[in-house]
């Protein structure tokens, strides 16, 4: 999971989504950094959320910048193939 802060919850780049199951309760640091609405929807910081003894499924959202660059490259390739 990409992050710049070394796991100190300062960059907020490691957001994950709890799809099912259970993770540890949000740390005090995570509660200060993340909006309550996000935490209520199961959005957590990968550097702070810990697995418990119960099974869970966590989704790692695709990096937005990566998807924008990928779309631009695909568009460029289509245009080149049309010529």
Q: Is residue 69 part of a domain?
A: yes
Identify the pLDDT of residue 64.
Answer: 64
More confident residue, 65 or 20: 20
The whole domain housing 51 covers 15-82
Q: Is residue 1 part of a domain?
A: no
Per the structure, the count of domains in the chain is 1
Q: Is residue 6 part of a domain?
A: no
Residue 53 CB coordination number (10 Å): 5
Q: Is residue 56 part of a domain?
A: yes
Average pLDDT taken over every residue of the chain: 87
Q: Is residue 71 part of a domain?
A: yes
Instruction: Tell whether the model's pLDDT for residue 21 goes beyond 80.
Output: yes
Q: Is residue 57 part of a domain?
A: yes
Distance CA(4)–CA(16), nearest Å, equals 15
Q: Is residue 4 part of a domain?
A: no
Mean pLDDT of 37-60: 94
């Amino acid at each position: 999971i990409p992050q710049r802060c070394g796991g100190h919850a300062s960059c907020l780049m490691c957001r994950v989504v709890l799809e099912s199951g259970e993770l540890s309760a949000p740390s005090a640091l995570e509660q200060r950094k993340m909006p309550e609405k996000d935490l209520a929807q199961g959005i957590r910081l990968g550097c702070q959320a810990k697995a418990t003894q119960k099974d869970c499924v966590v989704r790692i959202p695709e990096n937005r910048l990566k998807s924008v660059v990928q779309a631009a490259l695909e568009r460029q390739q289509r245009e080149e193939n049309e010529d």
